[in-house]
Amino acid sequence: MPIDLHVHSTASDGHSTPSEVVAEAAAAGLDTIALTDHDTTAGWAEAGAAAERLGVRLIPGVEISCQLGGISVHLLGYLLDPRDAALRRMWEATRASRERRARLIVEKLSADVPVTWEDVLEQTRHVTTIGRPHIADALVARGVVTSRDHAFATILRPGSPYYARYLAPDGIEAVRAVVGAGGVAVMAHPLARRRGRVVGDSAIADLVAVGMSGLEVDHRDQDDAERAHLRALAADLGLLTTGSSDYHGTGKQNRIGENTTTPQALEAIFERAGAAAADRNPLSGTS
Ligand code: AMP
Ligand code: ZN
Ligand code: FE
Ligand code: FE
């Protein structure tokens, strides 16, 4: 019965491979997970095969990096067509910018600590979307910090002299692209303030106006008051609500299945995705 609609693998910045994530979900007693790597569907095929073997239901998904007025927004997209040209262009641009940004961070770091671009490449052999967590892993390997958490709390935090941003598409464009590809858009951790600035209710309403369907409410980075606010907003705007772990393997404290989504909310996601999604095979996920 338990459903977890937000987990990461080594296709982006998780520490478990797509097959391992599915095995970990099965071991935790989950029957449905969505694989939602950052800006890529590269893990779908492997996860889909493992899911079939282990009797786990896999919802193909993605977590899209975007922004509204310079504030970072993460948009979960479910059941979309991975071959859609607009989505692929969007993700390729984001991934290219993420790589340029990672090189810049490492260049700045290398003036002061023993870390090179080759060290980061060591951490990204099977990775499609590079992020700060891979730089953190390289710093751990070099003994500069003790963990990803340590790196994120110190040298990799926004405001650190080594920090750099990447370019992400506008949130409106991202919602339109997900919907255009037959998918369902749900805003990830909308009020996770400890990650940085968050957008207001009116910006969320703007995303709903172009087709966003839901809000991720139960997430460890949102406290009870924030969840209550999001639940009320969802009721006002006619949105579905989800709960999920944002699991990253051993890269983060989050335990798989620590928050879950109701079967009714998942049913609403299927209904909004429509008939085309049912015919799509997650095993065909590309980059
Ligand atoms: P980036 O997308 O490159 O700016 O890096 C931020 C991403 O790192 C977010 O998706 C976080 O979920 C992820 N992340 C992984 N491990 C950690 C950690 N220990 N602390 C904070 N963020 C983390
Ligand atoms: Zn992540
Ligand atoms: Fe996120
Ligand atoms: Fe995430």
**Band of the pLDDT at 266, cuts 50, 70, 90?**
very high
* pLDDT at residue number 274: 76
**Closest listed ligand to the CA of 187:** 3
Write out pLDDT tens, residues 6-23: 999 999 999 999 999 999
pLDDT band at 202 (very low <50, low <70, confident <90, very high): very high
Q: Is the per-residue pLDDT at 279 higher than 80?
A: no
Condensed to tens digits (0 to 9), the pLDDT of residues 106-153 reads 999 999 999 999 999 999 998 999 999 999 999 999 999 999 999 999
Distance 277 CA to ligand 4 centre (A): 23
**Residue 251, ligand 1, Cβ within 6 A:** yes
Instruction: Residue 261: name the closest of 61, 13, 106 by CA.
Output: 61
103-116: per-residue pLDDT in tens? 999 999 999 999 99
Taking 80 as the threshold, does the pLDDT of residue 1 lie above it? no
| CATH number of this structure's domain 96-153 | 1.10.150.650
Q: Where in the chain is the domain with CATH 1.10.150.650?
A: 96-153
Per-residue model confidence (pLDDT) at position 282: 62
- Model confidence at 287: pLDDT above 60: no
pLDDT value, residue 277: 79
Nearest CA-CA partner of 9 in 230, 246, 181, 233: 246
Q: What is the mean pLDDT of the chain?
A: 96
Residue 283 has pLDDT above 80, yes or no: no
pLDDT at 113: 97
Q: Quick check: CB of 13 below 6 Å from ligand 1?
A: yes
pLDDT of residue 195: 83
Q: How far is CA 69 from CA 30, 171, 172, 198, in A?
A: 37, 9, 11, 11
The burial of 114, by beta-carbon neighbours within 10 Å (0-12 exposed, 13-18 middle, 19 or more buried), is given as exposed
Atom 19 in ligand 1: residue holding the nearest Cα: 149
Number of H helices, E strands in the chain: 11, 7
CATH architecture of 3-91+167-284: Alpha-Beta Barrel (3.20)
Ligand 1 proximity of 249 Cβ (cutoff 6 Å): no
**pLDDT level of residue 276 (50, 70, 90 thresholds):** confident
Q: Output the pLDDT for position 228.
A: 98
pLDDT at 280: 72
Percent of the chain with pLDDT over 90: 93
Beta-bridge partners for 250: 248
Domain boundaries for CATH 3.20.20.140 within the chain: 3-91+167-284
* Helix 171-180 vs helix 85-110: crossing angle, to nearest 10: 140
